[in-house]
Amino acid sequence: EPFGAVDPVVREHLQTEFLRLQSTLHKTVLFVTHDIEEAVRLGDRIAVYGAGRVEQFDTPATVLGAPATPYVAEFVGADRGLKRLSVTPIETGDLEQPPVVRLDDDAARAAARLDEEGAAWAVVLDADGALHGWVSAAGLKATDLKAAGSGTATAATGREVRDHARRMEAWLPLGAPLKQAFSTMLQHDAGWIAVLEEERFLGVLTPAALHAALRRSTAADAGRLARDEVVVESVPSA
């Protein structure tokens, strides 16, 4: 256990350096550890030994999502679902499509459209489809009422969405692990995060979508299927 006798901060640095070297050297390394989280982070394949034999040899995601034996299930722990978040990437099929407005859209018309759609907010994109931020329907409406109350009826229709857009802090690239997505939601107290491919906006990931993505991933590994082949059933809301 090469990293077993160091403090957590140094261990984190050593693991990161190990991964960097591995990506450069492309050498097969047999790494022994009793720490399942370390094994999940560092290994492409995990061999779980118990009772004098290999209980399971598979990818980290499969070991966590579909333990082959009761011994493996006990070894990876009851919180294996949380651990699995770190090895499950965000995919395009996990994303939801919210209302979208453009920077140069008329603010009053944008507010009216969001009102018709029953949407409380919208993502703001530039002309190239890159993420600029977000805007609330309430903020656009408040601006319209203020302008109308001042007797400048034409001012509301002349303003653009760019004047009311807010900066988007909660975003991640496509392929980032679900654990990072969950952490970002908590860090920014966000009900959703934007997902990008380079600068292009792809959609948003909500807590419900994150949960569904984890369930699909687990079911896919258990049934040896692709994630997009798995249908996730949900309990209907009252």
Mean pLDDT over 155-181 rounds to 84
What pLDDT shows up at residue 176?
Answer: 94
Q: Is the pLDDT confidence value at 167 over 60?
A: yes
* pLDDT over 70 percentage in the chain: 86
Q: Which domains does the chain have, with CATH numbers?
A: 8-84 (no CATH), 92-211 (3.10.580.10)
What pLDDT shows up at residue 144?
Answer: 53
Q: Is the pLDDT confidence value at 151 over 60?
A: no
Mean pLDDT is highest, among 61-70, 131-140, 168-177, for 168-177
How far is Cα of residue 100 from the mean position of the Cα atoms in its chain? 19
pTM, two decimals, is: 0.73
Q: Is the pLDDT confidence value at 141 over 80?
A: no
Q: What is the pLDDT of residues 22-74, one digit of tens each?
A: 999 989 999 999 888 899 889 999 999 988 899 999 988 889 888 899 999 99
CA distance 104 to 165: 11
